[in-house]
Amino acid sequence: MPTVTKDNLPYTSTLAAGKQLTVVTAASSTAILERLSGGVAQETFSMAASTTKVLGEYRVDQQYRVTGVTGTTTITESQSVAEVVGRAADGGSAAAAGEIGEILTSTVAVGAAVAETTATPVNVTTLALTAGEWEVTGVINRVLTGVTATAYGAAISPTANTVPAQAGGSGVAADSSVTLNAVFGTAVTGNYVSIVGPVSVSLAAAATIYLVAADTFSLGSVGDSAPCVLVAFVNLKEPP
C-alpha cells in the first residue's frame, strides 16, 4: 500500500468487504481520511500527528480517500479475520478441519449397543468439537425387547448423561432435546427411532458434545445400536 505525503494528490481507493483499513500518520505529520459514497464524503476524520485510524470491516465495498496535509501517512489494508474457506465448488475433496462444510460423525457400531436403565439418561455416543459455530444432529435407534414404555427422549448435551433444559446453555442452543410421552404399546419388540436437532452449538473452546437417551419403561430392555449417529458440521469458520 502507498505512503501519502503532503505533496501527493489525494489517494482514493476501494476497501473490499471484510477487510480493514489502517491509516497511520508519522510524527509531525497530519492527514485527512474520508469514507466516500459515490465520490462524496460520508465521514471525515482529521488525523493529528502520530495517530492511527482503523475503518472496517464492512459488509460491502467502501470507497475512501486519504489526503496528506503535512509529513507522511501510511495506508494498509488487511483481512481482519481468517478467510472463510469451504468445500470446493466442483465437489472435490471434503472441507478441511475448521472450514465451512467440515463434517464430523460418531456412530455406534453394530453389536455394541448401549444398554439403558429406565428414567436414567445415558450417553449413546460423543463428539469432540473444536472452538467455533457448529450445527449438530443426533439419531437414536432403539432396539426394543419386550418393552412397555411411556417416554422416549433424546438430547444433544454439553454434559455427560444429562438432558439439558430447553433454554439451552453452555454453548448449546434451545430445543436441544425432544421427548415423546405416551404408552407405546406393551411388551413391544422392534425398533424406535428419535431424531434431535439440528441445533446450534457455539463453542469458545474445544469441548465434547453428547448424544443422550432418556427413556422411561417398565418392562423389557432397551439397547441403542446402529444406526445411532451424532453428526456435526461447521457452519461458521472457527476462531483464529
Q: Per-residue pLDDT tens for 224-238?
A: 887 888 887 766 544
Under 8 Å between Cβ of 103 and 231 = yes
Q: Based on the fold, state whether residues 136 and 210 are members of the same structural domain.
A: yes
Q: Quick check: helix, strand or coil at residue 165? A: coil
In a domain, 160, yes or no: yes
Q: Based on the fold, state whether residues 70 and 144 are members of the same structural domain.
A: no
The last residue of one of the domains, among 35, 63, 79, is 79
Q: Based on the fold, state whether residues 38 and 128 are members of the same structural domain.
A: no
pLDDT computed for residue 84 by the predictor: 53
pLDDT computed for residue 234 by the predictor: 67
In a domain, 9, yes or no: yes
Q: How confident is the model at residue 7 (pLDDT cuts 50, 70, 90)?
A: confident
Q: How confident is the model at residue 68 (pLDDT cuts 50, 70, 90)?
A: very high
Q: Based on the fold, state whether residues 198 and 109 are members of the same structural domain.
A: yes
The last residue of one of the domains, among 44, 63, 79, is 79
Number of domains forming the structure of the chain: 2
Tell me if the pTM is above 0.85. Answer: no
pLDDT computed for residue 161 by the predictor: 96
Range from 68-72, 90-94, 155-159 carrying the lowest mean pLDDT: 90-94
In a domain, 97, yes or no: no
> Is the model more confident about 228 or about 45?
45
Q: CA 66, CA 5: separation in Å to the nearest integer?
A: 10
Domain of residue 200: give its range: 103-236
Q: Based on the fold, state whether residues 157 and 232 are members of the same structural domain.
A: yes
> Which residues have C-beta within 8 Å of that of residue 92, sequence separation ≥ 6?
none
Question: What's the pLDDT tens digit per position in 119-149?
Answer: 999 999 999 988 888 899 999 999 999 999 9
In a domain, 182, yes or no: yes
- Give CA 237 to chain center in angstroms: 7
Q: Based on the fold, state whether residues 30 and 63 are members of the same structural domain.
A: yes
Q: Based on the fold, state whether residues 74 and 117 are members of the same structural domain.
A: no
The CATH number assigned to the domain holding 163 equals 2.60.120
In a domain, 206, yes or no: yes
Decide if pLDDT at 83 tops 60: no
Q: CA 206, CA 236: separation in Å to the nearest integer?
A: 15
Class of residue 182 by CB neighbours under 10 A (exposed 0-12, middle 13-18, buried 19+): exposed
Q: What is the overall mean pLDDT for the chain?
A: 86
pLDDT computed for residue 46 by the predictor: 94
Q: How confident is the model at residue 4 (pLDDT cuts 50, 70, 90)?
A: confident
pLDDT computed for residue 238 by the predictor: 44
The CATH number assigned to the domain holding 44 equals 2.60.120.1030
Q: Based on the fold, state whether residues 31 and 74 are members of the same structural domain.
A: yes
In a domain, 94, yes or no: no
The last residue of one of the domains, among 45, 79, 113, is 79
Q: Based on the fold, state whether residues 108 and 183 are members of the same structural domain.
A: yes
pLDDT computed for residue 98 by the predictor: 64
pLDDT computed for residue 93 by the predictor: 64
Decide if pLDDT at 168 tops 60: yes
> Which residues have C-beta within 8 Å of that of residue 77, sequence separation ≥ 6?
1, 15, 16, 19, 20, 21, 22
Q: Based on the fold, state whether residues 74 and 113 are members of the same structural domain.
A: no
91: left (phi over 0), alpha (psi -120 to 50) or beta: left
Class of residue 40 by CB neighbours under 10 A (exposed 0-12, middle 13-18, buried 19+): exposed
Q: Based on the fold, state whether residues 74 and 132 are members of the same structural domain.
A: no
Question: What's the pLDDT tens digit per position in 105-120?
Answer: 999 988 888 999 999 9
Residue reference for cell 475503518: 55
In a domain, 90, yes or no: no
Question: What's the pLDDT tens digit per position in 205-217?
Answer: 889 999 999 999 9
Q: Based on the fold, state whether residues 75 and 115 are members of the same structural domain.
A: no
In a domain, 92, yes or no: no
In the chain, the percentage of residues whose pLDDT exceeds 90 is 54
